[in-house]
Structure 1
Amino acid sequence: MYPQAETPTGAVRGHRDSFGELYRAIPYAAAPVGPGRFHPPVPHPGWSGVRDATRPSPTAPQPVRDFGALDMTPYFGPGWVRGEEYLTVDVSTPAADDGRRPVMVFVHGGGFVTGSNRAALYDGRAFARDGVVLVTVNYRLGVPGFLDLAGAPVNRGLLDVIAALGWVRDTIPAFGGDPDNVTVFGQSAGATLTGALLATSEAKGLFRRAIVQSGSGTGAFTPEQAGRVTAAAASALGVEPTAEAFGEIPDERFLEILPALAGLDLRTGTAPDPLAGLSPFSLVLPVQPADALLGGDVDLLIGTNTEEGNLYGTADPAALGETLFGAGTAKLTRAHARASGGRTHVYSFGYRSTASGGRLGAAHTVELPFVFDVADEPWLHGETGLLGPDPVPEGLAARMHGAWVAFARTGDPGWAEYDAVEFFG
């Protein structure tokens, strides 16, 4: 069955099943082509007739990520699927009618260099089943998304997410969603972007609630740190560090130089490398989001996994997890509780995956199957699966997914508001 929705830029035809309706690859901005890859997002010109929204979109140019024996394709998705029009959203909804249902907008992770809404983990059927309209967002990555260049706006990937939220405000009623009840949520890099939205004036009023999963309120590079990455990229390409020069270079070359950017020493006299060398890209800000939160009444649900660093196989995973996620999450939590009129709720996820011989534990990304209520899917299990060979505890996914839905609906996930002493001492 092929339901249709009428949007301001044109009609789209999706797919209906027992969970609801799915509309894929809907553009929220014009395709970033050539020099336009380094411009702010601009509105899509629209289309005539009915656009086929039954197939997934291309993805942002990105490298292959390898985690050895652990199969992370459900998290990273298919990698680079070529095509110009990748600034798109997928929409899962109970029905494209005049209902005013809670809306959740998901921003994927992947270290600011990989990922897409095509990843199997971001299946929106459980949200549609439970009366929520889920929107999953693609945004620019790597050099086009986050390299700081003269003549280009900074943080173009973040500008894409803001443009997608504007699209939601203007368009989501066509899919049965309530534009006045939007929750933006993200994981890892997507969570860091979500935290930055709380400190970005252009995003004010575009969402009512936010969920930050394993992100950081202190994960941005300083302009000095970003300048080192820019200089290395320009040197590797043999061009000037300007948007004009980079605009003439094909995406393939941007991926080829990534090894030359890996392992740069980004420590300065005033700032450590907030990503501990794991990515040469991040937001570029003069002040960390946790130090620049806007006022308002945005509710926040925020937390981490208890063994985040286990995913990376380092000698001291606990210290890495604290550097990447723990300290920045604690600071953002405290800042929100002080600065916002909205409620602050904290979670800690501790279920230990039995993957990698039981060594993976409650690592980075392990909470996602429970949030999306897909933890029983066979592609997450077995010797190479993210959740390992053992079955997960009965009811855990239903409880966690239910808490996310309840928070999106009412601002209350089902437990008490943040207590600084209890969570962070």
Structure 2
Amino acid sequence: MRAGTADHTVVTQRGPVRGTVADGLRTTLGIPYAAPPFGAGRFRAPRPAEAWDEVRDCTRFGAVAPQSAELPGSPVWSPGDDDVLTLNVWAPDGASKPLPVLFWIHGGAYTFGSSAQPDYDGSALARAGTVVVSCNYRLGFEGFGHVPGFPDNRGLLDQIAALEWVRDNIAAFGGDPDDVTVAGQSAGGGSIACLMSSGRADGLFRRAIVHSVPDAFFPPETAERLAREVADAAGVAPTAAGLLAATPQALVEASDRVAARYAGDPASGYLHYDTVLYGPVLDGVLLTRDPVEAPSADGAAHPVDLLVCHTTEEYWLMHQVGSMPTVTTDDGLARFAADHGLPPALVAAYRAALMPDAPVLDVYLALAGDAVFSVPTVRLAEAHARAGAGRTFLSRFDRRRTRPDGSPVRAWHAADVPFAFGTLDATGVDFLTGGPADADDRALSRRMVHAWTAFAATGDPGWAPFTGTTRPTVQVWDVPGDRTEGAAPAYALWDGVRTAPPSLP
């Protein structure tokens, strides 16, 4: 234990846990909220964690879900790491009253990532007056792959189980179980859209913060087809028995091979550009409709306030990390649009009205980012406002600058997260933010932390809500100062255009 750090013990419903106290915060990491989802529990809904009597050491993050990703400063998964359904709690030490809870769901294309990523450290948000909770959940095939006779959307069921743990236990950590705000970005934001749409999560949270929501919800036939392809790559039958016989590592490796095949085949449709094989399935049980189009559960008794955000240049990140093919010709741009079911008139409008002198690559990345993230995020907000199921607030992250060498720092996917968490100095964040933070960056981060925590505490982040009928007021996060404006000019061009990808060829 480092100097200046003390122990603290909290008794949960399953048993006592020991965390640390330092710098005015109580931090408890790796608390099981459900049993390990392997062995008899594999591919099933989460089961209660086994109770324990001795004080459990919870001073380190729990194991991450099966995946092949190796992220800077984050733990990696190893075969045999089974106890992956854990969560973490950061809370101010000595709070005089129950505090609002901010529950974070990490992103990662429903395939990689964890709550232990350095930019997800909850310390700054806890110091601002909230109890912060983050959780791991099943990813990839284990969480979202179709297995005949077993529930789809196991990763979402894990998130619901973690929220139920919060309902039942967070008071012991100083949090108010009746004042929970869920927050997430990318796949985490998409997960929250699903939770809002599903009656299974009704009453588990009263507010939601979603950044960069992907319209990536799979029809059952797509999930079944991809499961067959992964099973074939793993050398097993696409049956329950066959898939249960494949180890988690074998399914991770098979998934990577299938994704690589799509990436290498220009004739493979939309997955050639974005090889995300897994996501929430419109299974007719947990999810009965597209959550972007209908975010409020039928018969929900608990209205949910919603705060949304997207970045201005979402897809430049994917280009930078090489996770999508480069398109630099008009023919390639036309093929991309056709593969995504986008009308030629939309491409022409981007070229004529928005980007008349831009290279093809810039148009391609703008279209992709708007199709996958920006437009679905705004549509979610519009649908929520029309439903009258709670107040709705819109924002956009537009912080850009130029490096000393003249190269641009872009407002790309995930760049907003460390600003909202107050983690600008965390390991690996300088890649997302384009370099060390300056005074303007730190001021912007303080404003975003304040907006998140104010919204969690009061439902008001500090600007006017969108009613669904008035012109939207968008809070634009920028340096050196913020501004308000209407929806981005590109949004009007998408009227009547579907963003969800078409069926695979």
Q: Distance in 1 between matches of 2:259 and 2:92?
A: 43
Aligned Cα RMSD in Å? 2.3
1:391 matched residue in structure 2: 437
1:374 matched residue in structure 2: 423
1:322 matched residue in structure 2: 370
Q: CA deviation at 1:251?
A: 1.4
1:297 lines up with 2:346 in the alignment: no
2:72 matched residue in structure 1: 73
SS in 1 for 2:315: helix
Q: Distance in 1 between matches of 2:240 and 2:189?
A: 27
Q: CA deviation at 1:278?
A: 3.1
Q: How does 1:18-37 map to 2 (within 5 A)?
A: 18-37=23-42
Paired AA for residue 205 in structure 2 = F
Q: Distance in 2 between matches of 1:357 and 1:34?
A: 54
Q: Please, which of 34, 50, 53 is the counterpart of residue 48 of structure 1?
A: 53
What CA deviation, in whole Å up to 9, does each residue of 1:154-198 have, x standing for no partner?
100000000000000001001000000000011111110011111
Q: How does 1:194-273 map to 2 (within 5 A)?
A: 194-216=192-214, 218-262=215-259
Query: Is the CA contact (8 Å cut-off) linking 2:27 and 2:89 kept in structure 1?
Result: yes
Query: Is the CA contact (8 Å cut-off) linking 1:263 and 1:277 kept in structure 2?
Result: no
What CA deviation, in whole Å up to 9, does each residue of 1:130-154 have, x standing for no partner?
1210000100011110001111101
Q: Distance in 1 between matches of 2:112 and 2:142?
A: 12
SS in 2 for 1:308: coil
What CA deviation, in whole Å up to 9, does each residue of 1:215-262 have, x standing for no partner?
13x320111211220110121123222333212221110121123321
Q: How does 1:133-212 map to 2 (within 5 A)?
A: 133-212=131-210
Percent identity over the alignment is 40
Paired AA for residue 238 in structure 1 = G
Query: Is the CA contact (8 Å cut-off) linking 1:98 and 1:173 kept in structure 2?
Result: no
Q: Distance in 2 between matches of 1:5 and 1:420?
A: 48
Stretches of structure 2 that go unaligned for 5 or more consecutive residues are 1-5, 264-268, 283-287, 320-325, 327-360, 473-485, 493-505
Q: Distance in 2 between matches of 1:329 and 1:389?
A: 27
Q: How does 1:336-415 map to 2 (within 5 A)?
A: 336-352=384-400, 358-377=407-426, 379-381=428-430, 385-392=431-438, 393=440, 394-415=442-463
SS in 2 for 1:256: helix
Q: Distance in 2 between matches of 1:92 and 1:334?
A: 33
Cα distance, 1:354–1:106 mapped onto 2, change above 3 Å: farther
Paired AA for residue 172 in structure 2 = A
SS in 2 for 1:73: coil
Cα distance, 1:171–1:354 mapped onto 2, change above 3 Å: farther
Stretches of structure 1 that go unaligned for 5 or more consecutive residues are 66-71, 267-271
Range moving further from structure 2, 184-193 or 412-421: 412-421
SS in 2 for 1:262: helix
Range moving further from structure 2, 414-423 or 193-202: 414-423
The alignment's TM-score, normalised by the length of structure 2, stands at: 0.76
Query: Is the CA contact (8 Å cut-off) linking 1:188 and 1:213 kept in structure 2?
Result: yes
Q: Distance in 1 between matches of 2:394 and 2:60?
A: 37
SS in 1 for 2:190: helix
2:3 matched residue in structure 1: none
Q: Distance in 2 between matches of 1:373 and 1:135?
A: 15
Q: CA deviation at 1:388?
A: 2.4
Q: Distance in 1 between matches of 2:226 and 2:30?
A: 32
Query: Is the CA contact (8 Å cut-off) linking 1:57 and 1:85 kept in structure 2?
Result: yes
Range moving further from structure 2, 117-126 or 234-243: 234-243
Cα distance, 1:135–1:99 mapped onto 2, change above 3 Å: same
Q: CA deviation at 1:333?
A: 1.0
Q: Distance in 2 between matches of 1:413 and 1:278?
A: 35
1:69 matched residue in structure 2: none
Q: CA deviation at 1:378?
A: 6.9
Cα distance, 1:152–1:166 mapped onto 2, change above 3 Å: same
Cα distance, 1:357–1:47 mapped onto 2, change above 3 Å: farther
Q: CA deviation at 1:354?
A: 5.5
Q: Distance in 1 between matches of 2:247 and 2:291?
A: 32
Query: Is the CA contact (8 Å cut-off) linking 1:145 and 1:156 kept in structure 2?
Result: yes
Paired AA for residue 305 in structure 2 = D
Range moving further from structure 2, 27-36 or 191-200: 27-36
Q: CA deviation at 1:357?
A: 6.7
What CA deviation, in whole Å up to 9, does each residue of 1:236-293 have, x standing for no partner?
1232223332122211101211233216779xxxxx9599533111111152112333
Query: Is the CA contact (8 Å cut-off) linking 2:41 and 2:47 kept in structure 1?
Result: no
Q: Please, which of 280, 303, 314 is the counterpart of residue 283 of structure 1?
A: 280
Q: CA deviation at 1:353?
A: 6.0
What CA deviation, in whole Å up to 9, does each residue of 1:315-366 have, x standing for no partner?
3211110121022112211110011331000100011266797445000010
Q: Distance in 1 between matches of 2:409 and 2:153?
A: 32
Query: Is the CA contact (8 Å cut-off) linking 1:354 and 1:387 kept in structure 2?
Result: no
Cα distance, 1:276–1:202 mapped onto 2, change above 3 Å: farther
When Rg is computed on C-alpha atoms for both structures, the one with the higher figure is 2
What CA deviation, in whole Å up to 9, does each residue of 1:352-404 have, x standing for no partner?
266797445000010011111122447533xxx32223534241100001100
Q: Distance in 1 between matches of 2:108 and 2:409?
A: 18
SS in 1 for 2:42: helix
Q: Distance in 2 between matches of 1:357 and 1:142?
A: 39
Query: Is the CA contact (8 Å cut-off) linking 1:13 and 1:23 kept in structure 2?
Result: yes
1:308 matched residue in structure 2: 314
1:61 lines up with 2:66 in the alignment: yes
Cα distance, 1:95–1:251 mapped onto 2, change above 3 Å: same
Q: CA deviation at 1:420?
A: 4.7
Cα distance, 1:307–1:42 mapped onto 2, change above 3 Å: same
Paired AA for residue 245 in structure 2 = E
The number of equivalent residue pairs is 408
Cα distance, 1:195–1:28 mapped onto 2, change above 3 Å: same
